[in-house]
Structure 1
Amino acid sequence: MKEADILDQTQSVWSSFYEKIFVWINEFIDSLPNLILAIIVFILFIIISKYAGKLFNKILARSSTQASIRVISVKVLKAVIGLIGFFIALGILNLNTVLTSVLGAAGVVGLAVGLALQGTLNNTFSGVIISFLPKIQINDWIETNDFAGKVIDINLRSVVLQTADNNHVMIPNSKIVDSAFKNFSSDPRGRVTVSCGVGYESDLDEVQQITTDAIEAIFKQKFNEEIEFFYTGFGNSSINYIIRFWTKVENQKDIYTAQHQAILAIKRAYNKHDINIPFPIRTLDFGKNKFRSEVLDIRHQSDEN
């Protein structure tokens, strides 16, 4: 190939390159107003989402909505407003094909991420369910998954409990949704049970009356509440019973406190009326039978002599 031909081809390539550059520059200049407008619109929607989130949070706070619901609702609102601004910006740039590609790619990426993060997404959706579930709220005392404590946080991953020993336990949201839980704070009043036994020589009618009076003196029962007393069986050394009464119960400590006060009241009443609370007695045999047999053998030998 001659040098002249090579030179012509080189010039042709550079000429095409320059033409492309000039076309791109002209297109950029032509689309610059739209680009600036799209950027301004997107930034404007970001600012709107920020202030809309604050306003929405204040509205929810006035309606006494729990903190977890407010946080999730505000985040969803901000995300929706931001996405609307992004799509409007793409529309201003006349990038409809890009928008279609973005949505298609988002679908593929979302499917891949969903398969890879099944557990995390399960906890996230469970967190949304728990946040809008009125049965669990911040500061409630609940018992679930072999843990008991006060709910101090509900987020998109877990429910955080503060246990009685001041430790924090994070339970995945999916575990809460899929398992049974007990909420001590759902009602300020609860029923407490105390078990005991009295001697076989006791007057059972008198025991029932004395025990009921002792409990009623310190635990006032409200409307539709009553103290219940039941004998439950004949034990090895006592006749056993349970007594149930209503009191303020919002956490496990309240139950322990009520049982403590009830036991003190019952014991004082039994001491006053000489009612026996029997307990099993075990007799230990330290080889007494063997010792007796040896003594009898010695006596027998003495008699023979």
Structure 2
Amino acid sequence: MKDQFNTALGNLIDKLGGWFNAIIENIPNFILAILVMICSYFGAKYVSRLVRKLVENRIEQDSIKNALSRVIAVLVVALGLFIALGVLNLGKALTSLLAGAGVVGLAIGLALQGTIANTFAGLVLSFRKKIQIGNWVETTGYSGEVMDINLKDFTLKEADNNIVIIPNKTILENPLKNYSLTTKMRIFLECGVGYESDLEEVQRITQETIAKTFDQVKSPEDVEFYYTEFGDSSINYLCRFWIDAESMLEKLRAKTKAIIEIKKAYDAAGINIPFPIRTLEFNNKLDIKDSKSVDSGDKQ
């Protein structure tokens, strides 16, 4: 028993001695690894600030800026960790760490497919110059002002002040109409006048009214006017002209103003804007006396 104890104690002392010698031999590597980690830490801070400055003028959303800077910082620190492990000759540990990170990343990616897709879509949307906060856009059946673009969703405020939150992935995969990319919009007006109207006079009055109402329309010739059909109760026309506008609300206001002024001009000129009339005709040839006799016969 005593011999076994002495043998175990000797093995322990030899093992500790080997560890001590290994530590002494690897002190320079330890110091170098610590320096690498310290440099990676401060380097991550510097790179994070640099990235934030670079994207400052291209991205308005603070959430996107913070996310980008943090991701870059994590990557720099991770690179420093891998270099430090290599300096310490821990190749096996480094391989195991990479394998474990790959398995964990795969599991997380499968579990959070939708979230990751929205995150990357948010990053892509943030770098698109054609979609900016404050633009008036229309997509997936919704129309409104872009209020926010973050890593999860795309926020719109509609004309009725309702807030619509749409996943970034949906925005990226569907067509989007941006009314704010151009400074001009075209107004379409459809109306009809009575068959008794002087059609040339109607055209002249309409074009002159539009030209007087909107400063952007320089002359009546800039207003397009086309008769389209002989309707059931009117001769219908289409009127088109351009205005300076960047949102759907401005377009609606301009259309409303045009309708009001055209109605006033037509009233002053005695031009009729007809509307469908339904006439009910009763062709009952039965005499009142006959109907009374029939009623009395039924009672009998």
Band of TM-score, shorter chain: 0.7 to 0.9
Q: Which residue of structure 1 aligns with residue 226 of structure 2?
A: 230
How do residues 172-211 of structure 1 correspond to structure 2 at under 5 angstroms? 172-211=167-206
Specify whether residues 21 and 67 from structure 1 end up closer, same or farther in structure 2 by C-alpha distance, changes over 3 A only: farther
How do residues 139-150 of structure 1 correspond to structure 2 at under 5 angstroms? 139-150=134-145
3-state SS of the aligned residue for 2:271? coil
Q: Are 2:191 and 2:237, in contact at CA under 8 Å, matched by a contact in 1? A: yes
Of 72, 81, 89 in structure 2, the residue corresponding to residue 86 of structure 1 is 81
Mean CA deviation greater in 207-216 or 148-157: 148-157
Q: Which residue of structure 2 aligns with residue 74 of structure 1?
A: 69
Of 143, 157, 164 in structure 1, the residue corresponding to residue 159 of structure 2 is 164
Of 280, 286, 293 in structure 1, the residue corresponding to residue 286 of structure 2 is 293
Residues 222-250 of structure 1, C-alpha deviations (whole Å, 9 max, x = no match): 79x94222222222211122212211332
Q: Which residue of structure 1 aligns with residue 107 of structure 2?
A: 112
Q: Distance in 2 between matches of 1:41 and 1:238?
A: 84
How do residues 1-305 of structure 1 correspond to structure 2 at under 5 angstroms? 4=1, 7-24=2-19, 26-28=21-23, 30-31=25-26, 34-61=29-56, 64-68=57-61, 70=65, 73-221=68-216, 226-284=222-280, 289=283, 293-295=286-288, 297=290
Q: Distance in 1 between matches of 2:91 and 2:45?
A: 27
Unaligned runs of 5+ in 1: none
Residues 92-140 of structure 1, C-alpha deviations (whole Å, 9 max, x = no match): 3232333333333333333333333333332233223322222212221
Mean CA deviation greater in 124-133 or 73-82: 73-82
Residue identity matched to 1:295: I
Residue identity matched to 1:181: L
Q: Are 1:144 and 1:182, in contact at CA under 8 Å, matched by a contact in 2? A: yes
3-state SS of the aligned residue for 1:161? strand
Specify whether residues 18 and 289 from structure 1 end up closer, same or farther in structure 2 by C-alpha distance, changes over 3 A only: farther
3-state SS of the aligned residue for 2:58? coil
Specify whether residues 117 and 204 from structure 1 end up closer, same or farther in structure 2 by C-alpha distance, changes over 3 A only: same
Residues 168-206 of structure 1, C-alpha deviations (whole Å, 9 max, x = no match): 322122211211111111112111212211111111111
3-state SS of the aligned residue for 2:272? coil
Q: Are 1:122 and 1:174, in contact at CA under 8 Å, matched by a contact in 2? A: yes
Residues 205-234 of structure 1, C-alpha deviations (whole Å, 9 max, x = no match): 1111211111122223479x9422222222
Aligned residues: percent identity? 46
Q: Distance in 2 between matches of 1:12 and 1:229?
A: 109
Unaligned runs of 5+ in 2: 295-300
Q: Are 1:227 and 1:245, in contact at CA under 8 Å, matched by a contact in 2? A: yes
Mean CA deviation greater in 235-244 or 8-17: 8-17
Q: Are 1:221 and 1:227, in contact at CA under 8 Å, matched by a contact in 2? A: no
C-alpha deviation, 1:32, in angstroms: 5.2
Specify whether residues 9 and 167 from structure 1 end up closer, same or farther in structure 2 by C-alpha distance, changes over 3 A only: farther
Q: Distance in 2 between matches of 1:192 and 1:14?
A: 96
Aligned length: 290
C-alpha deviation, 1:271, in angstroms: 1.6
Specify whether residues 148 and 43 from structure 1 end up closer, same or farther in structure 2 by C-alpha distance, changes over 3 A only: farther
Residue identity matched to 2:142: F
3-state SS of the aligned residue for 2:258? helix
Give the CA RMSD over aligned residues: 3.1
3-state SS of the aligned residue for 2:125? helix
Q: Are 2:58 and 2:127, in contact at CA under 8 Å, matched by a contact in 1? A: no
Q: Distance in 1 between matches of 2:94 and 2:17?
A: 26
TM-score where L is the length of structure 1: 0.80
Specify whether residues 295 and 154 from structure 1 end up closer, same or farther in structure 2 by C-alpha distance, changes over 3 A only: same
